[in-house]
Structure 1
Amino acid sequence: MTEMPHAVAVLGRGVVDPDEPVVTADDLGLTRGDGCFDSLRVFTDDSGRATAVDLEEHLDRLDRSARAMDIDNPSHAQWRQLVEETLDEWSTPGEAVLKLVLTRGREWRGPGPTALATISHRGPALPPGAPRPITAVTLTKGHPSDAFADAPWLLGGVKTLAYVANVAAVREARRRGADDVIFTTTDGYALDGPTSGLLVARGGALLSTPTGATGILESVTVEAIFEAARADGVQTRYELVPVVDLYTADGLWLVSSGRGPALVTALDGRALRADPDLAGRIARYADF
């Protein structure tokens, strides 16, 4: 196997050349963003063996997204086979992100949904518990914290392909001299990041934004941190956190499957508390 920065596999075809076209010009995922996806961490050890972390949990979340969009999702067994085929061809050392993409398929008499997997190399693996500091800014989402309560057609909590606003928010953060974004509501609460969940340490407990009415995506990694923290005797809660409380928190993280818990050291240009011992515990809870 040759080390490479990218790999692509298509359901029904297997691994293909990364430069080979895999979707048509009328695929609704391309023309309308009519599809969903999920992404997770891939770690390659010194022997060249690649492992997809928390695959089943991400397949479950992808299934929930597909059901919400009325798209026929391949079975877990089919996805697992596609992932195995892709990992068998992947030996690039370090960290990578595996993305599973599902679209509604072709607009004109298509054969059905398009399903594919990609792996993209992120870089060398960091030592366990190594700090991943970032800076962030708050940006409004333009709606209150309960905007999705009675509007299932808005697809709250669904990881759709329509990510253009998320990407635009990150660009705005970079224009402001920061690395990432914490979205906020018009009634003063924190939501999540464009590609990450929110984790707040306050008063000896760990908090994260609830799903449902807020419309945010359930975070597999936040839940894994919560489970490990509870086993360690730490209280965990899903509750709305006022934006003003972020600046005085005992610790603040943006958490994703690929990056793990990234410690926010400054928010809107204000330095935040950054306890290295607490950050190390959070990294351990996340298995990073």
Structure 2
Amino acid sequence: MKPLTLHLLDLSVPGGTITRHDPGEALIRVDDLGITRGDGIFEVAGVLHGVPLALEAHLARFARSARMMDLPEPDLDLWRRAVLAAATEMADQDALTAVKFIMTRGIEGADSAPTGWALGFLADDPAPAQADGLDVVLLDRGYRHDVADTSPWLLQGAKSLAYAVNKAALREAKRRGADDVIFLSSDGYVLEGPSSTLIARIDGTYITPPVTLGILPGTTQGDIFADLARRGVPSRVDTLSVNDLKTAAALWLCSSTRGAAPIRTLDGRTITVDHKATELLNADLDARKG
């Protein structure tokens, strides 16, 4: 990730303010709870030619995560302006860029306002993953499929800054010679990737797991399903088993900066990569205007 632009939000004043800074400037305090505890939320919106993609869906998920974590309700108009400011400054970039926007609980041990910023950066090139596909392994997340209902304090389905487990899962994938991970619930339900949403095509229907399993609502997946509906292609939200993945005609992991990346192996087993469908899905994603 190459930082390109940074906008800091002052959330301590009515209405908030946004100031531009050099992305290399030291701004965040070492006793901020986002740093010391991972206590905060974030979103990453892909940006094409200065236009943030699926911005309203990202803002809605940002507010959802804030509610789940008992953070102050974000002023979405303020955050929208911050993201747009960062995105506009990257309009001259031909490659895919992105804006990561973050809100923490503020300073540890103080009755402070949240800390917030929007960082624009040059994203990794998604073309290799889209063209070549991903080697993926299945890993147990360690929670039942109904954890969001039985234990909401575990914050499954909130996009929090506490990403140590997700990063550890990706390192385990690397140790196994793979690129990415699909999490399973302890009782066998298919969930999501550490930073992606799963789509499976089974009997001609595109299927993604429901957020009731304690997973994030996928912004990229949502756009894909909207595009499929416009083209008259069937899709649905439904539970999936490991056997469903084994019998699926095609599988994709979807995210804001990688688009729809096909899965070519799952636990070492070859999965057919549908290059034509992948190109069509990503062409639709690239045609978005926000």
1:110, CA displacement in angstroms?
A: 4.7
- 1:253 equivalent to 2:258? Answer no
Query: Deviation string for 1:113-141 (max 9, x for gaps)?
Result: 001011221256759x9635111111110
Q: Look up the match of 1:24.
A: 29
Distance 1:117 1:5, change over 3 A: closer
1:206, CA displacement in angstroms?
A: 0.6
1:56, CA displacement in angstroms?
A: 1.3
Which of 53-62 and 149-158 deviates more?
A: 149-158
Q: Look up the match of 1:173.
A: 173
- 1:273 equivalent to 2:278? Answer no
Q: Which amino acid aligns with 1:89?
A: E
* Number of residues of Structure 1 aligned to a counterpart in Structure 2: 278
Q: Look up the match of 1:120.
A: 121
Runs of 4+ that moved beyond 6 A: none
Q: Look up the match of 1:6.
A: 4
Q: Look up the match of 1:101.
A: 102
- For residues 163 and 97 of structure 1, the distance between their equivalents in structure 2, rounded to whole angstroms, comes to 19
Distance 1:5 1:147, change over 3 A: closer
SS of the equivalent of 2:60 reads helix
- For residues 218 and 131 of structure 2, the distance between their equivalents in structure 1, rounded to whole angstroms, comes to 20
Query: Deviation string for 1:9-37 (max 9, x for gaps)?
Result: 10135221112122111111111111111
- 1:215 equivalent to 2:214? Answer yes
Distance 1:133 1:107, change over 3 A: same
- For residues 166 and 123 of structure 1, the distance between their equivalents in structure 2, rounded to whole angstroms, comes to 19
Give the conservation status (yes or no) of the 8 Å contact 1:249–1:273: no
SS of the equivalent of 1:94 reads coil
Distance 1:82 1:123, change over 3 A: same
Q: Look up the match of 2:12.
A: none
- For residues 223 and 183 of structure 1, the distance between their equivalents in structure 2, rounded to whole angstroms, comes to 20
Question: Aligned runs of 1:40-59 on 2, under 5 Å?
Answer: 40-44=45-49, 50-59=50-59
Query: Which consecutive unaligned segments of at least 5 residues does structure 2 have?
Result: 10-16
Q: Look up the match of 2:65.
A: 65
Distance 1:238 1:152, change over 3 A: same
Question: Aligned runs of 1:78-227 on 2, under 5 Å?
Answer: 78-90=78-90, 91-123=92-124, 126=127, 131=131, 133-212=133-212, 214-227=213-226
Q: Which amino acid aligns with 2:182?
A: I
SS of the equivalent of 1:166 reads helix
Distance 1:83 1:131, change over 3 A: same
Give the conservation status (yes or no) of the 8 Å contact 1:145–1:186: yes
- For residues 176 and 75 of structure 2, the distance between their equivalents in structure 1, rounded to whole angstroms, comes to 43
Q: Which amino acid aligns with 1:143?
A: Y
Query: Which consecutive unaligned segments of at least 5 residues does structure 1 have?
Result: 45-49
Q: Which amino acid aligns with 1:258?
A: T
Taking only the aligned residue pairs, the percentage that are identical comes to 39
SS of the equivalent of 1:24 reads coil
1:178, CA displacement in angstroms?
A: 0.8
Q: Look up the match of 1:47.
A: none
- For residues 216 and 242 of structure 1, the distance between their equivalents in structure 2, rounded to whole angstroms, comes to 15
Give the conservation status (yes or no) of the 8 Å contact 1:34–1:103: yes
- For residues 198 and 125 of structure 1, the distance between their equivalents in structure 2, rounded to whole angstroms, comes to 17
- For residues 271 and 17 of structure 1, the distance between their equivalents in structure 2, rounded to whole angstroms, comes to 46
SS of the equivalent of 1:107 reads coil
Give the conservation status (yes or no) of the 8 Å contact 1:105–1:112: yes
SS of the equivalent of 1:190 reads coil
Which of 194-203 and 8-17 deviates more?
A: 8-17
Q: Which amino acid aligns with 1:198?
A: L
Give the conservation status (yes or no) of the 8 Å contact 1:248–1:273: no
Distance 1:123 1:158, change over 3 A: closer
Q: Which amino acid aligns with 2:121?
A: S
Q: Which amino acid aligns with 1:164?
A: A
Structure number having the greater helix percentage: 2
- For residues 102 and 32 of structure 1, the distance between their equivalents in structure 2, rounded to whole angstroms, comes to 13
- For residues 191 and 74 of structure 1, the distance between their equivalents in structure 2, rounded to whole angstroms, comes to 28
Give the conservation status (yes or no) of the 8 Å contact 1:28–1:105: yes
1:185, CA displacement in angstroms?
A: 1.7
